Structure 1
Amino acid sequence: MRILAVDDDPIILELVTTVLSDAGYEDVVTAGSAEQAMTVISTVERPFECFLLDILMPGIDGVALCGEIRANPLYRATPILMVSRLDEKHHFDRAFAAGASDYVTKPFDATEFRVRLGLAEQMQRQQAQLAAAQHGKPDREKPRLSEAFMLDDVPFSIANHALESYLQGVPGGVGGMQCFALKLANAVEIHRKASGNDYEFVINSLADAVTEVLAGANYFISHSGNGVISFVVHGAIDMTEEEVARAVMTEVGMLDLRLADGSQVSPDVVVGSSSVSRLTSRSARIATMREAVMNAEGIADAVAGGKIVLQEQPRDSLLDRLFGGLAA
């Protein structure tokens, strides 16, 4: 894996090179500033397969550099790991909003560094395989139902693995978050009917509906496969979980979705949620997101079994909707 490491501290760059070499990564190029990095990126003959960017640098910082790299179509999905000793949530959010895939903290923990690099290499390999499979085809093959593909041109969308990394890395003790999961209850049926880019179009349209509801809020959104769109609201929002769920379902209900052959599809969606007032541990954050997904999956299963009618949603709370419907 070819790596570009960028840091204004030459001692850190030397340390990074040593750690990478010890981990088996020998093809490493370094740059002492964002400006130098952009020159290197524009002149290399063989593209990079991973980036390690320090967040705080004089001039153009690592977050801005991350955005510049993402703007290059060649590196739209290339793993970008942010490197910083900061635990300030402001910089953390900016990095992921700019397109960061993961993070590495200073001082470096060799074991964690290897794990993060291994994940980056896995991501890069998957992207390379996908690109090879699609080379020369005018239309992208329909993704598998379980495939967590990247949302296309959706505000504040990030890859699913990046969302997980964000939840794991949010500094402890920050204010609460609201985690949501939109589940396309009839995903199997729509996926079967769709061809080419149709299924991606449907998922992206649902994600766009979510962003309409969240306009003005701070959030990240991701597609996690199997008809599930996960989104995390971080910071203040003037809606309750119930109001967000209601608004999303209303917005989706207004969509006029048609496939390439002109046929109309009617998405049946449910929204699960979970939140905590203070996010103090990695496990609590991940559990919060998983609870939202399980909530949505449970409601979708109840809908499929005829135990809940979508028109009756939402009730007093999302869990009441599920268990109240099951008891009815």
Structure 2
Amino acid sequence: MLNNMRILVVDDDRGIRELASISLEVLGFESVATARDGQDALDQVQSASTPFECFLVDIQMPYVDGFELCAAIRSMPEYRAAPIIMLTAMSDRKYIDRALAAGATDYVTKPFDIMDLKARLNAAALVCEKAREGTALSERVHALADDLMHTTMVDIGDTFDIDDVPGYLNYDTFKDLVKSFGESGAQGAEFTAFQIADIHSIYCRCGSTAYFNFICDVSDAVSDVVATRGYIFSYLGNGVFLVFDPRSGGAQEKADLGEEIERQIWQLDLRFSDGNRIPVKLEQSNAFGFREMPRGIQPGLSSDNVQPLYETGT
């Protein structure tokens, strides 16, 4: 387990900050900083030479409260997918929903149970570890990307390494992450699959290189919608994207994801070489968990479990 994840604990209660620091040290996390309020946290985030990788944030604080801090962190590109765990003495659902809407990925109620905190931090650490591996792999692969694009044909069924897209993992790294979560017993996690309709026609009209660029553009749109919610995703080939929610926000929370993604794609104004708009329409599967996971992480997209989404037009 990753024990060098850089964590920032933000709480205006000195006792809570000290308790959290001691607890994290006991749990094996070696790189922990604290902030006395939201403004102090923002100052540290903006001046940090190495970005933080996880945040424990109190909700009720003076000057800049937890909701405002969470939204401010999420507005920074380098923190769009960083785990943010809210520390709150308020168990009222409306506060939790507001925190999640601001970009939080999880929450722990105070006084917190150390084993509960450990489980949530271990899940956050696993996401950070796999994201590091994915970033490192993407950097190595894309050092030769320009040359490779001129000499390598891209097939419609290929998976891709896509650089600088928050929340995106290449397929192999994504599979390893999913396997790790499954083996840890995280049965609450959920998957949602999206398939680009009529992908074969789009591939034929684009051609190999333009098709790769098209998938990269669609990945940017997917990232804009899902990364801020703490989800990760991968491209499986054949126009299929798989989104993974490690904390399971519920099917209702994901019901409109496809429509939001289509609106983001529409704003990109993607075009074929002849100038006509690429008609991107997504088909979304119902959310499914580990027990319903199809073999090989291949979502079954059929007329029974896929629904049409926002009509983009042509």
TM-score, normalisation: structure 2: 0.58
Partner of 2:215: 199
Contact 1:180/1:232, CA 8 A, preserved across alignment: no
Structure 1: any 5+ residue segments left out of the alignment?
153-160, 162-166, 170-178, 212-219, 235-240, 275-285, 292-296, 315-328
AA aligned to 1:54 is D
Question: Which whole-Å CA distance do the structure 1 matches of 2:19 and 2:230 have between them?
Answer: 34
Per the TM alignment, residue 72 of structure 1 is displaced from its structure 2 partner at its CA by 2.3
Q: Partner residue of 1:43?
A: 47
- Match among 1, 5, 22 for residue 18 of structure 1: 22
The 1:146/1:113 distance shift into structure 2, 3 A limit, reads: farther
- Cα separation, 1, equivalents of 2:9 and 2:123: 17
What's 2:126 paired with? 122
Residue 68 (structure 1) aligned with residue 72 (structure 2): yes
Partner amino acid, structure 1, of 2:93 = K
Distance 1:269-1:42 versus aligned 2 partners, 3 A rule: closer
Q: Which residue identity is paired with 1:134? A: E
Distance 1:259 1:268 in 2: 15
Whole-Å Cα distance in 2 between the matches of residues 221 and 22 of structure 1? Answer: 26
* Aligned residue in 2 for 1:270: 283
Q: 3-state SS of the aligned residue for 1:18? A: helix
Instruction: Answer whether contact 2:80 2:166 (CA < 8 A) is retained.
Output: no
Which deviations, in whole Å up to 9, do the C-alpha atoms of 1:257-293 show, x marking residues without a partner? 546897976556434558xxxxxxxxxxx76xx79xx
Query: Contact 2:57/2:66 (CA < 8 Å) preserved in 1?
Result: yes
Counterpart CA distance in 2 for 1:221 and 1:16 is 22
Q: Which residue of 2 aligns with 1:57?
A: 61
Return the alpha-carbon distance in structure 2 between the equivalents of residues 24 and 151 of structure 1. Answer: 26
Match of 2:115 among 107, 111, 117: 111
Which stretches in structure 2 are left out of the alignment for 5+ residues?
169-177, 179-186, 244-249, 294-298, 309-314
Instruction: Tell me, yes or no, if the aligned pair for 1:50 and 1:80 is still in contact at 8 Å.
Output: yes
- Residue 83 of structure 1 contacts residue 105 of structure 1 at CA under 8 Å; is this kept in 2? yes
Gap change, CA 1:102 and 1:196, over 3 Å in 2 = farther
Using the TM superposition, name which of 132-141 and 104-113 deviates more: 132-141
Give the Å deviation of 1:205.
5.7
Structure 1 position 92 matched with structure 2 position 108: no
Say if 1:202 and 1:257, in contact at 8 Å, map to a contact too.
no
Q: Give me the whole-angstrom Cα distance separating, in 2, the residues matched to 1:224 and 1:78.
A: 14
Cα deviation code 1:216-238 (max 9, x no counterpart): xxxx796754425779545xxxx
How far is 1:33 from its partner? Answer: 0.5
1:1-328 matches, within 5 Å, as 1-132=5-136, 133-134=138-139, 144=159, 150=166, 182-184=194-196, 193=208, 195-202=211-218, 224-225=233-234, 226=236, 227-228=240-241, 232-233=251-252, 257-258=270-271, 269-273=282-286, 298=300, 300-301=301-302
Q: 1:201 to 1:261 in 2, by over 3 A?
A: farther
One-letter code aligned to 2:113: D
Point out the more displaced range, 263-272 or 121-130.
263-272
Q: How many residues align?
A: 254
1:127 Cα shift? 2.4
| Mean Cα deviation higher: 36-45 or 221-230 | 221-230
Query: Against the structure 1 CA distance between its residues 85 and 127, is the aligned structure 2 distance closer, same or farther, given a 3 Å change threshold?
Result: same
Structure 2 CA distance for aligned equivalents of residues 273 and 72 of structure 1: 31
What's the Cα RMSD here? Answer: 5.4
- Does the CA-based 8 Å contact 2:104-2:230 persist in structure 1? no
What's 2:312 paired with? Answer: none
Checking the alignment, whether the CA contact within 8 Å between 2:9 and 2:56 is kept in structure 1 is yes
TM-score by length of 1: 0.56
